[in-house]
Copies of this chain bind each other. A is one copy, B any other.
């Protein structure tokens, strides 16, 4: 588990030889391969630094120990999880009813810097579209 001080990271899964990026984050966010935490599998998702990064890392054992000995930490972890879940739920919801164009517009509005630091193919993957389609959406959005 890590807190991102600076830089860009992505999470992806390798399916049929293809990388599916499903999360990209930068400063101020927490990143965890929670699925491997939960399912106790060694390397469930892949995490990759897209740029140079400064991170504050807590390993699994330390995290577990903190949860058991520091009630405040467990409480914090709980709040962090709840927020992450709520945000993911909203993201899922937007996947279900918005067009690619809308999702691109929203992302570009909220994180314009992303497009300068992260290869477009990763962004396309995260939006659930091909790089070609993203390339076209970018033009038609102006």
Contact = CB atoms under 8 A, between A and B. Distances in A.
Interface of A: 13, 15, 18, 20, 22, 34-35, 37-39, 67, 71, 74-75, 77-78, 81-86, 88-93, 95-97, 125-126, 128
Contact of A93 (B22, B78, B86): B22
Nearest to A83: B38
A86 B125 contact: no
A92 B95 contact: yes
Nearest to A21: B96
Given A71-B74, A92-B92, A96-B128, 12 more contacts: A20-B97, A22-B93, A35-B86, A35-B90, A67-B78, A71-B71, A78-B78, A85-B85, A88-B89, A88-B92, A91-B92, A96-B125
Overall SS of chain A's interface: helix
A115 B136 CA distance: 38
Contacts of A91: 92
A97 B39 contact: no
Nearest to A75: B74
